[in-house]
Amino acid sequence: MKLPNAKDIEAAYKRIRSFVHQTPVLSSESINTITGAQLFFKCENLQKVGAFKFRGASNAVLSLSEEQRLKGVATHSSGNHAAALALAARQNGIPAYIVMPDNAPTIKKKAVAGYGAHITFCKPTLADREATLEKVIEQTGATLVHPYNQFEVICGQGTASLELTKQISDLDIIMTPVGGGGLVSGTLTYIKERFPQIEVIAVEPKGADDAYQSWKQGRFIPCTHPETIADGLRTSLGTLTYEIIRSKIDGIYTVNEESIVKAMRLVWERMKIIIEPSSAVPLAAVMENPEHFKGKKVGIILSGGNVDLGHLPF
């Protein structure tokens, strides 16, 4: 199992920088006053496809050999990774084969189709998704691009924190949400090698706390029955992401659902930007644990802004 290092993330950044947005870093005086900390929000909600996932998908596509490019890429996903891989493939003129559960939100089905991917629908179980994907790969010879448990994907996600440290200096803490663990693994890989003095904290909902449990107990504990509004964080860690988190993380916080909704609403109201519930999880941790963050310079990666406007939690 090859673990990435900071040089791999720097190489990924050179590879993808002309394809991805350099997203802005925003702050809010009123949110700083409320929390007692200096918060700097890295707006990956303004990334292409509305999520950081585009970084990892782009790096994976751009790392393919000529032979692999001809046959394209494949994955199963009902969310941001599906759209990210579909667009990255289209930008590079290669086919993308996406397996989606038939109950995926209509808006997400439309987005993936709009990027020109070949979609195969299946029953909404993990077993069905994996079996269908296996058939698709067998038929097409496409290369699997995993949503998070893949070297190239983790390296791509790590470029968000690389950019953040170029935009804001002397950060005390960097925070990310954790679901499958691709974003925090990339962040840890880069930051702990290049800026070891910066504390890296992951945050997840109490109703989907597999990363916290795995970290506390020192063994991999999968997420079995996640119950949270943060739909992007209902996934279990992967073997690769667990290994990186286990060895490098400074801390993992869990937050309750009310705090997630409160933090999401606060960002919408005070900053006038759209974030999804998963993005609000780190701010919720700052609000629940003010003593840890008081007076600190804190970078928060806002992971995405894809939210169903017809079903807001407030």
Name the pTM for this structure.
0.96
Average pLDDT, the chain: 96
| Closest residue by Cα to residue 46 from 308, 217, 301 | 301
Whether the CB-CB separation of 244 and 280 falls below 8 Å is answered with no
pLDDT of residue 79: 82
pLDDT of residue 108: 81
User: Residue 203 forms beta bridges with which residues?
Assistant: 177, 253
DSSP 73-111: EEEE-SSHHHHHHHHHHHHTT--EEEEEETTS-HHHHHH
DSSP conformational letter for 305: -
pLDDT of residue 8: 98
| Closest residue by Cα to residue 146 from 245, 235, 45 | 235
pLDDT of residue 224: 85
pLDDT of residue 17: 97
Spell out, as residue ranges, where the chain has pLDDT lower than 50: none
Q: What is the pLDDT of residues 120-143, one digit of tens each?
A: 999 988 789 899 999 999 999 999
| Closest residue by Cα to residue 177 from 220, 219, 234 | 234
Q: What is the pLDDT of residues 259-273, one digit of tens each?
A: 999 999 999 999 999
Whether the CB-CB separation of 278 and 260 falls below 8 Å is answered with no
Whether the CB-CB separation of 5 and 244 falls below 8 Å is answered with no
pLDDT of residue 30: 98
pLDDT of residue 214: 97
Residue ranges and CATH numbers for the domains of the chain are 6-51+150-302 (3.40.50.1100), 54-144 (3.40.50.1100)
pLDDT of residue 125: 82
Determine which helix (DSSP H) or strand (DSSP E) holds 286, and give its type and residue range.
Answer: helix 277-288
